[in-house]
Amino acid sequence: MTSAAGSALKPDLSNWNPEDETTWDSKLAWRTLWVTTYTMILAFAAWFLVSAIAPRLNDIRAEGVDLLTKEQLYWLVAVPGLAGGVLRLVFMFLPPIMGSRLLVSFSGALLVLPLFGWALAARDTTTPFWVLMSLAFAAGVGGGSFSGLMASTSYYFPKRLAGTALGLQAGIGNLGIGVMQLLLPWVVGFGLFGTAAEKAYIVYGLMIGIAFGPVQASARSYLAQSIHPDEAGRYFGLYALSGRATSFLAPLSVALVTTATGSARLGMMALIAFLLAGFLLLLRTPYPAAKVDA
C-alpha cells in the first residue's frame, strides 16, 4: 500500500526530503516558491534602483548647487553591482543557517534602507556623496540575496522539478529589473521614449532581453539538474558570483570594438561572440538527465 504524500512529514519539517513523497509537501514547496519569487522581484527592483535614478539625478537636484560630477555618477551606478557580487558570497551560506522564512524576512527588511533612503536623499541637495554611496551599496543587497533565495528554493523540490522551479523563479524574479527601468523614469518626471535613436535603442535592448532571458533561466535549470541538493547553496553562490565577476567583459568588449571601428553598431554586435562561445561549450557538455547512475 502506497503511503499518502507528506504522511510522514514532521510538523517542524526536520525530516524534509523532497525525493521521498511521504516526507515532502508539494503545496508548501510551491507556496514557498511564489513567496521567494515575489521577494526576488522586489530585490532586483531595489538593486537596479540606482542605475535608473543616477542618469537624471542632477536634474532632480537642479534647484541646488551641489551637482554631482560624471565620475561620481559612474561610481553610484557601479557600486550596487560590486556590492551584489560581494554580498552573494554571504547570502550563499545563509539558507541552511537561517531557514527560508527568516531569510526572506531578513532580505526584505534590508531592502527598506535603500528604498526609503533614496526617496529622501535624491531631492536633498545637501546629502553628502558618501551617504549616496552607502545607499548605493545597500541597494546591492537586492543582488546579493539572489544566491540565498535560489539556493533556498532548491531545498524544497525533488530533482525532477528543481529545474522548473528555479527557471520560474529566475525568469519571473528578473521582472523586477524591467519594472524599475521602465516605470521609474516616469516617476522622476521625464519621458522614456524620445528621439528615434532612443526608441531604436529600447527596441534593441528588448530583443537582447528576449534572447538572454531564456538563456539565463535555462542555465540555472541546467545547474539544478547537475548538482546534489545538499550542495545547492555552494554551487549557486559560485554561479551567481561568477556572473557578477565577469559582467565587465561584455561592456569592455563593446567599448573596445566601438573604439577600434568607430561604429557603435559593430560594438553591440560583439555580444554575438559571447553567445557563440557559450553555444560551442554547451555542445560539448552532456545533459545531466542523460546520465545513468552506476
206 class by beta-carbon count within 10 Å (0-12 exposed, 13-18 middle, 19+ buried):
exposed
| Cα–chain center distance at 269 | 24
pLDDT at position 134 is 92
**What does each of the 294 residues of the chain score in pLDDT, given as a tens digit?**
445 566 677 777 778 888 878 888 888 889 888 988 888 888 888 888 888 788 777 776 655 556 778 778 878 888 888 888 788 888 888 888 888 888 888 888 888 888 888 888 877 777 888 898 999 999 988 888 887 888 788 788 887 787 778 778 877 877 777 666 666 655 555 444 455 565 666 666 667 666 666 676 677 777 777 777 667 666 766 776 676 666 667 777 777 888 888 887 787 787 788 778 878 887 887 766 544 444
* Distance from C-alpha of 47 to C-alpha of 114, rounded to nearest angstrom: 9
Phi, psi for 253 (deg, rounded to 5): -65, -45
Predicted local distance difference test score (pLDDT) of residue 205: 66
Q: Please report the domains of the chain, with CATH numbers, ordered by start residue.
A: 21-233 (1.20.1250.20), 248-288 (no CATH)
Maximum CA extent, the chain: 78
- Cell numbers linked to 214: 531564456
Give the predicted TM-score (pTM) of the model.
Answer: 0.64
| Residue 128 pLDDT | 86
Instruction: Give 178-185's long-range contacts (Cβ < 8 A, gap of 24+).
Output: 178/209, 179/41, 179/45, 180/44, 180/45, 180/46, 180/48, 180/49, 180/52, 181/48, 181/51, 181/52, 184/49, 184/52, 184/53, 185/52, 185/56
